[in-house]
């Protein structure tokens, strides 16, 4: 990841407590976390008091106070197309109008097909972002029991003990971004459909 010194950093969701890790590294970074899980936010404040936390459901839109405010936005959305699109759209809204800004988005090929990820990248491009890099299998998590059961239903492969996701790094190709190019889909962002027939572990 790039130099974060003195940068304004927003995490849209922080199940992995990345904000706590960044705070513990004593970087000169201004950290904000937006999450729906109030207990998680209380835990973050307890462990990293300098992190600014906001309790909010992103399905209601990005709070206007966060619009165009951040140099870096990181998000690990639900691995559904609807979830990816919703978080991508509001991550774009949160970016400051600068070609030096960065947006990081995680996507798992265990749930999303190559075609679906390509769709996400294309919508980001239409919004004014360019894909800088894809770091395959950047994240690795031990699969919780519900994920193990779900992946067993989806694939005959045995690689289900760990869930991996790739990290997509975008930067603005122009200072003017149009988040409305990213559609808000009617599907429940937490409903996983068996669309990813070519998904891999």
Q: What is the CATH number of the domain that holds 42?
A: 3.40.50.150
In this structure, is residue 182 part of a structural domain?
Answer: no
In this structure, is residue 122 part of a structural domain?
Answer: yes
Percent of the chain scored above 90 by pLDDT?
71
Provide the pLDDT for residue 199. 47
Provide the pLDDT for residue 169. 98
Provide the pLDDT for residue 40. 97
Average pLDDT, the chain: 89
- List of the chain residues with pLDDT < 50: 194-201
Rounded CA-CA distance 125/182 in Å is 9
In this structure, is residue 200 part of a structural domain?
Answer: no
In this structure, is residue 180 part of a structural domain?
Answer: no
Provide the pLDDT for residue 198. 46
User: Using an 8 Å Cβ cutoff, are 88 and 105 in contact?
Assistant: yes
Please name which of 47, 42, 40, 41 lies closest in space to residue 22, comparing C-alpha atoms: 47
In this structure, is residue 40 part of a structural domain?
Answer: yes
pTM (2 d.p.): 0.89
| Alpha-helix residue ranges (DSSP H) falling in 32-137 | 38-47, 81-94, 114-126
The residue range of the domain holding 83 is 8-175
In this structure, is residue 20 part of a structural domain?
Answer: yes
Provide the pLDDT for residue 6. 80
In this structure, is residue 31 part of a structural domain?
Answer: yes
* Separation of first and last alpha carbons in the chain: 24
Split into its structural domains, the chain has a count of: 1
In this structure, is residue 191 part of a structural domain?
Answer: no
Rounded CA-CA distance 186/184 in Å is 7
Provide the pLDDT for residue 166. 95
Provide the pLDDT for residue 27. 86
Provide the pLDDT for residue 117. 96
Provide the pLDDT for residue 96. 96
């Amino acid at each position: 990841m790039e130099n974060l010194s003195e940068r304004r950093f927003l995490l849209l969701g922080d199940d992995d407590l990345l904000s706590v890790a960044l705070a513990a590294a004593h970087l000169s970074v201004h950290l904000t976390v937006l999450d729906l899980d109030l207990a998680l936010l209380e835990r973050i404040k307890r462990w990293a008091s300098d992190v600014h936390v906001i309790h909010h459901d992103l399905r209601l839109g990005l709070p206007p106070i966060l619009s165009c405010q951040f140099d870096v936005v990181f998000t690990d959305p639900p691995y559904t197309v609807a979830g990816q699109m919703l978080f991508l759209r509001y991550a774009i809204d949160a970016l400051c109008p600068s070609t030096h800004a960065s947006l990081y988005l995680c996507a798992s090929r265990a749930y999303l097909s190559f075609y679906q990820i390509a769709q996400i990248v294309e919508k980001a491009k239409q919004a004014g972002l360019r894909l800088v890099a894809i770091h395959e299998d950047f994240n690795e998590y031990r699969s919780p029991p519900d994920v193990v059961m779900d992946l067993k239903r989806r694939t005959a492969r045995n690689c289900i003990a760990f869930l991996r996701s790739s990290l997509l790094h975008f930067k603005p190709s122009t200072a003017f971004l149009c988040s409305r190019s990213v559609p808000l889909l009617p599907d429940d962002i937490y409903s996983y459909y068996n669309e990813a027939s070519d998904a891999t572990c």
